[in-house]
């Protein structure tokens, strides 16, 4: 957030995989470390595990998750925190927590509700089903499917970066604030952000 020269962020995994999610072996070896991630000091604040996903929304630049290979569990929740998700044709996505007797706990619920219908979110959460990139795009979990997702992300950044950085940031925050708000609150948000930009 302090890097004012920054115009965009790309999130991606190394080695052809975005993220396979929770490392069960490390949690089993140190359960107290995992519990620390879930602790929060003040009610209503995100804990550290949730901040990993939702904090991307606080950046005043577009954040693009490039999804190659597996994008499971916590990895998917991190990707959901991005403004855009561009998946490779062979990407696989899963809200996999049910497989381990868990529920999404990294901000995934707050992020999913903006992207897909409730019944579809319930189905994926309860089954832990693995879906392909095209299915994810149909459900709204993925913005685009591409043969070359990193290149597609860079092209999108080039298109956005010729616009005013203030307008880009304000547009991002305005839509996040107003998208599910009542009309009155949405109109108020428009006025406030427009004044700020002007």
pLDDT tens readout for residues 42-85:
556 777 778 888 999 999 999 999 999 999 999 999 999 999 99
Give the pLDDT of residue 48.
76
What percent of the chain stands above pLDDT 70?
88
Q: What is the DSSP letter of 40?
A: -
111 neighbors 54 (Cβ within 8 angstroms): yes
pLDDT of residue 40: 54
CB 146 within 8 A of CB 86: yes
How many whole angstroms separate alpha carbon 91 and alpha carbon 34?
A: 27
pLDDT tens-digit readout, 128-171? 999 999 999 999 999 999 999 999 999 999 999 999 999 999 99
pLDDT grade, residue 28 (50/70/90)?
low
Which of 1-10, 31-40, 83-92, 181-190 reaches the highest mean pLDDT?
A: 83-92
Contacts for 180 with CB less than 8 Å, ≥ 6 apart:
113, 114
Report d(CA 193, CA 55) in Å as an integer. Answer: 20
Helices of type H across the chain: 24-29, 31-38, 48-54, 73-80, 108-112, 118-127, 133-139, 149-161, 165-178, 183-197
Contact 113, 121 (CB under 8 A): yes
pTM for the predicted model, two decimal places: 0.87
Close Cβ partners of 121 (under 8 Å, ≥ 6 residues apart): 95, 109, 112, 113
**Measured distance between the N- and C-terminal CA atoms of the chain, rounded to whole angstroms:** 22
Rounded CA-CA distance 31/71 in Å is: 23
């Amino acid at each position: 957030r302090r890097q004012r020269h920054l115009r965009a962020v790309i999130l991606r995994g190394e080695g052809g995989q975005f993220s396979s999610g929770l490392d069960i072996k490390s949690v089993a070896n140190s359960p107290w470390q995992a519990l620390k991630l879930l602790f929060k000091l003040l009610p209503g604040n995100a804990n550290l595990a949730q901040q990993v996903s939702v904090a991307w929304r606080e950046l005043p630049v577009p954040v693009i998750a490039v999804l190659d290979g597996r994008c499971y569990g916590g990895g998917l929740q991190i990707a959901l925190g991005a403004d855009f998700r561009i998946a490779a044709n062979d990407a696989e996505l899963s809200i996999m927590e049910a497989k381990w007797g868990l529920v999404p706990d990294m901000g995934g619920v707050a992020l999913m509700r903006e992207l897909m219908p409730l019944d579809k979110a319930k189905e994926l959460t309860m089954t832990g089903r693995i879906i392909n990139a095209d299915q994810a795009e149909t459900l709204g979990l993925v913005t685009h499917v591409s043969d070359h997702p990193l290149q597609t992300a860079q092209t999108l950044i080039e298109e956005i970066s010729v616009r005013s950085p203030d307008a880009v940031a304000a547009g991002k925050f305005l839509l996040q604030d107003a998208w599910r708000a009542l009309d009155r609150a949405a109109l108020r948000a428009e006025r406030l952000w427009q004044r700020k930009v002007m």
